Amino acid sequence: MAPTVDHSILLISILLLIGVLTAKFSTRLGVPSLVFFIIVGMVVGHYIYFHNALLTQGFGILALIVTLFDGGVKTNWKDVKRVSVPSVLLATLGVLITTVLIGIIAKYILGVTWLEGFLFGAIVSSTDAAAVFSVLGIQNIRQKLNSTLEAESGSNDPMAIFLTVSIIELIQHPNSPVLSLILSFFWQMGIGLLLGLLLGKVSVWIINYINLDSSGLYSVLTLSLAVLTYGISTSIEASGLLAVYIMAVVVGNADLTYRHAVIRFNEGFAWMMKILMFMLLGLLVFPKQLVDIIWEGILLSLLLMFIARPLGVFFSMMFAKYSVKEKLFISWAGLKGAVPIVLATYPIIAGLENSTLIFNVVFFVVLISALFQGATVAPLAKFLNLSQGEKETVPHSLELISIGRTNNEMIELKLIKHSDISGMTLEQLQLPEYILVTAVIRDDKLLTPRGNTQIFGGDTLYILVAKKKREKVKAFFQRNTGCSTNGADSLTN
C-alpha cells in the first residue's frame, strides 16, 4: 500500500526529531552530525525505496544555498580579509590539484576511463561548508585557521561544480572546445563574484529600508533574497553558489535591521535543511552496493586524506605565511560532505556508464572522511598546539521582539575602550526621548540602567531607538574624539 500524505508527514516529523537528537549526540562525540543523518537515511531506505536522483539534486542545491547563506552571514569580513589570498588559492588551485591527483589514482583503482577518473576527482575535491561549519563551530582553533577553512569551504564549491560539469560535457561530447570551457570558468567566477557583491548591497538596502509588519518577515525576506541571488546568477550562467556566499558575507557584515532575528531563523532553517538533505542522500544508497566497493572506497579515502588533499594544500599555499603545522591541520580539516554526494548525482542524471559506481564510491569516501577526520579534528588541533582552549560562549542574549508597524528597533552596541563617554552616567549624557537604554552588560552581568548608572568602555548596551536615528546613535556612543563634552546635541539635529 502506497504511503498517504498523512503517513509521509508523520515520517518527516519523526526523521526531524531523530535528527535533532542525533545532532546532540554527535556534538558530544565530536563527530559531524551528517554521519548520523546519512545513517538514519540508509536505515529508512531499507524500508522505503527511493531512487530519484533529480529530486535529490534539486533539494540538495536548495539546502546548499541555505547552508552557504547561514555560514556567510556569520563570517567576519575583517577576519576573512586577512586570509583571502590563501583561501582563494585553496578554493581554485587546491581543488584543481586534488582533482588531478585523485583522478589519476581513481583511474587505476576503479578501472574507469581517464575522464571518468578525473570526474571522480572533481566530485570529491571540494570541502563541504556544512561539515566544516558544524565541526569548527564547536572548536576554538586559531582565528586565522578558522577563517581560512570557512572561507575555503564556502568558496570552493563553484570550482568543483565547474570541473564536474565540464568533464561530463567532455565525456558526452569529446570534441567540445577546451577554450570555451576555460572562458566559461572565468565568466562563472567573475560574474558570480560581481553579482554577489552587487546583490548583497541591494539586499542590505532592501532589508533596512522596507517597513514590514513583523520582525519574522525580515528573516523570510533575507532568505528569499539569497535564493533570488542564486536564481539570477544561474540564469546568466554565472556561479550561483559563489554569488550566494559573497552576498551572505556582505549582508552579514552590514548594519542590519533585526539582525539577531534573521541570523537565528536562518540557523534553525539551515539545520532542518541539512537534516533532511543528508537523510535524503542516505536514501539513495543501498548498503549492499557499498559492500561491493568497500576496499576500493577505503583505499581511495586514505589516498585522498593522506596524499591528494595534503599535496593540494601544500602546493597551493606554497608561498603563504603558514607554518607546516598549520598547513597539516588545514589539510586534515578539509572535510567532505553534502557537496560531493550532490555532485555525484550529476553523472547519474547525465546517464553515464559508470555513474552508479562513482556515486557509491563518492558516498563511501564522504562517510569515511566525515567519520574519521571529523572525529579527530579537535585532538589534532591540540596535538599541534593550534587549539586555544575552550571556546568562549556568549553568556547573555536578548531576544528581539516584533515592534509591529512602529519605526523603532532594538540595537546592540559595544562601547570602545577609550570612548569619550566612558565613566559618564546616563543622566549626564542627556539623551533625547526617542533613545532608551534598556540593558547594560558588564563583565557577564546584566545591569538595570538608571539615571545614575555609569557606563564604561567595554560595556554592551541594548538601546531602543528610532530606525532613522540609528546611525547617529551608533556614531555618538562609539565616538572617540578625545572630547567628553555634551555630544548629545548631535542626536537632536
Tell me the pLDDT tens digit for each residue of 124-143: 998 876 666 666 655 667 77
Q: What pLDDT is recorded for position 484?
A: 46
Mean pLDDT over 31-56 rounds to 79
Residue recorded with cell 591540540: 382
CATH code given to domain 408-491: 3.30.70.1450
Has residue 338 got a pLDDT over 80?
no
Has residue 395 got a pLDDT over 50?
no
Exposure of 248 by Cβ count < 10 A (0-12 exposed, 13-18 middle, 19+ buried)? buried
Q: How many CB atoms lie within 10 A of CB 210?
A: 11
Pairing state between β 445-447 and 460-466? unpaired
Per-residue confidence band for 30, with pLDDT thresholds at 50, 70 and 90: low
Has residue 404 got a pLDDT over 70?
no
- What are 15's three cell numbers? 526523521
**CA angle, corner 287, sides to 281 and 288, nearest 5?**
140
pTM: predicted TM-score of the whole model, two decimal places: 0.80
Q: What pLDDT is recorded for position 366?
A: 87
Adjacent-strand bridge partners of 447:
440
CA 304, CA 366: separation in Å to the nearest integer? Answer: 11
Per-residue confidence band for 478, with pLDDT thresholds at 50, 70 and 90: low
Has residue 116 got a pLDDT over 90?
yes
Window from 151-160, 163-172, 389-398 with minimum mean pLDDT: 389-398
CA 436, CA 407: separation in Å to the nearest integer? Answer: 14
Provide the greatest CA pair distance for the chain.
79
Per-residue confidence band for 277, with pLDDT thresholds at 50, 70 and 90: confident
Has residue 190 got a pLDDT over 90?
yes
Has residue 27 got a pLDDT over 90?
no
5-9, 235-239, 330-334, 394-398 — most confident range: 235-239
| 8 Å CB contact between 204 and 250 | yes
Q: Does the 5-383 domain belong in CATH 3.40.50.300? A: no
Boundaries of CATH 1.20.1530.20 in the chain? Answer: 5-383
Q: What pLDDT is recorded for position 493?
A: 56
| 8 Å CB contact between 330 and 148 | yes
Residue recorded with cell 561548508: 129
Has residue 302 got a pLDDT over 80?
yes
Adjacent-strand bridge partners of 462:
412, 439
Closest CA to 152 of 91, 204, 231: 91
Q: What pLDDT is recorded for position 134?
A: 65
182 residue type, one letter? I
Has residue 402 got a pLDDT over 80?
no
Q: How many Å from the N-terminal Cα to the C-terminal Cα in the chain?
A: 72
Mean pLDDT over 303-325 rounds to 93
Q: What percent of the chain has pLDDT over 90?
A: 31
Reading phi first (left if > 0) and then psi (alpha if -120 to 50, else beta), residue 404 is in: left
Boundaries of CATH 3.30.70.1450 in the chain? Answer: 408-491
Closest CA to 124 of 81, 167, 172: 167
Per-residue confidence band for 388, with pLDDT thresholds at 50, 70 and 90: low
Question: pLDDT for 347-364, tens place per residue?
Answer: 999 989 899 999 999 988
Window from 63-72, 93-102, 117-126, 284-293 with minimum mean pLDDT: 284-293
Q: How many CB atoms lie within 10 A of CB 143?
A: 13
Name the average pLDDT for the chain. Answer: 83
Window from 38-42, 142-146, 334-338, 393-397 with minimum mean pLDDT: 393-397
Has residue 317 got a pLDDT over 70?
yes
Q: What pLDDT is recorded for position 221?
A: 93
Reading phi first (left if > 0) and then psi (alpha if -120 to 50, else beta), residue 158 is in: alpha
Adjacent-strand bridge partners of 465:
409
Q: What pLDDT is recorded for position 394?
A: 46
Q: Is the dihedral of CA 227, 232, 235, 241 positive or negative?
A: negative
